């Protein structure tokens, strides 16, 4: 009976230690906030017939949480202006480029890292109520190693139809899917995580020892 009570107390102690360690682990884990901004350019030197009606407002002071492993990130906004009455503008493989610039990860500054996302504009804007222009994104090259996180950008939804000026004020948000994996700097286990592992292993080992003694006594 005394051995059973002792084992019960020991289990309670192990669980309590595990909970304490677990609370510490939960505090250590959590958000992986990436702050970034973008810059953009549209090449109007060729492929455009008529006055240009499309501009792009880049993202500034934007942020996403990478903790889930994948998240949609706004790159900025295409802005379509209305054409003059009776006029139209045609876009034929007009190139654009959006530069993605990470700023910091969880408050740690990131310097000299960027990736350029390219694409083309195709279609016609012929009234404030009608636009067939789509933005087609090329697959970005490679990934960015931010230290504890490595990120890759992609565009699983394909082409983006740009709305005319009378729809949503002519604003169309450009988004990329950011997928994150562990980076080159593997995080060091927190002391609370080590404590959780040790207490769990210790409790299991002692339980096996006590069970073995019971068998021998039987």
In tens, the pLDDT along 107-118 reads 999 989 999 999
How far apart CA 162 and CA 80 sit, in angstroms, is 7
Of 13-27, 132-146, 165-179, the poorest mean pLDDT is in: 13-27
The residue behind tokens 């992986």 is 32
Indicate whether 40 and 108 sit together in one domain: yes
Residue 181 has pLDDT above 60, yes or no: yes
Indicate whether 135 and 196 sit together in one domain: no
Indicate whether 176 and 193 sit together in one domain: no
Indicate whether 136 and 205 sit together in one domain: no
- How many residues are given for the chain? 218
Which three-class secondary structure state does DSSP give residue 93? Answer: strand
Indicate whether 206 and 162 sit together in one domain: no
How far apart CA 175 and CA 171 sit, in angstroms, is 13
pTM for this entry: 0.72
Domain total for the chain? 2
In a domain, 23, yes or no: no
Indicate whether 114 and 206 sit together in one domain: no
Range of the domain at 204: 188-218
* Sign of the torsion formed by the C-alpha atoms of 53, 54, 60 and 65: positive
What is the enclosing helix (H) or strand (E) of 104? strand 89-105
DSSP state of 47: S
């Amino acid at each position: 009976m005394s051995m059973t009570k002792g084992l019960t107390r020991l289990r309670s102690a192990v669980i309590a230690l595990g909970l304490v360690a677990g609370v510490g682990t939960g505090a250590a884990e959590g958000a992986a906030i990436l702050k970034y901004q973008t810059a953009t350019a549209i090449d109007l030197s060729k492929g455009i017939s008529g006055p240009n009606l499309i501009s792009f407002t880049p993202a500034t002071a934007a942020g996403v949480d990478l903790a889930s492993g994948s998240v949609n990130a706004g790159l900025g906004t295409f802005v379509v202006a209305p054409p003059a009455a009776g006029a139209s503008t045609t876009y034929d493989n007009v190139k654009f480029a959006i530069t993605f610039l990470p700023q910091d990860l969880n408050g740690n500054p990131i310097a000299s890292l960027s990736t350029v996302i390219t694409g083309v504009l195709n279609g016609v804007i012929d009234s404030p109520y009608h636009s067939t222009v789509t933005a087609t994104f090329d697959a970005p090259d490679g990934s960015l190693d931010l230290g504890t996180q490595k990120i890759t950008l992609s565009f699983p939804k394909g082409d983006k139809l740009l709305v005319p000026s009378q729809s949503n004020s002519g604003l169309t948000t450009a988004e990329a899917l950011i997928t994150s994996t562990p980076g080159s700097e593997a995080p060091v286990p927190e002391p609370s995580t080590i404590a959780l592992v040790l207490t769990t292993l210790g409790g299991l080992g002692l339980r096996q020892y006590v069970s073995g003694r019971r068998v021998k006594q039987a």
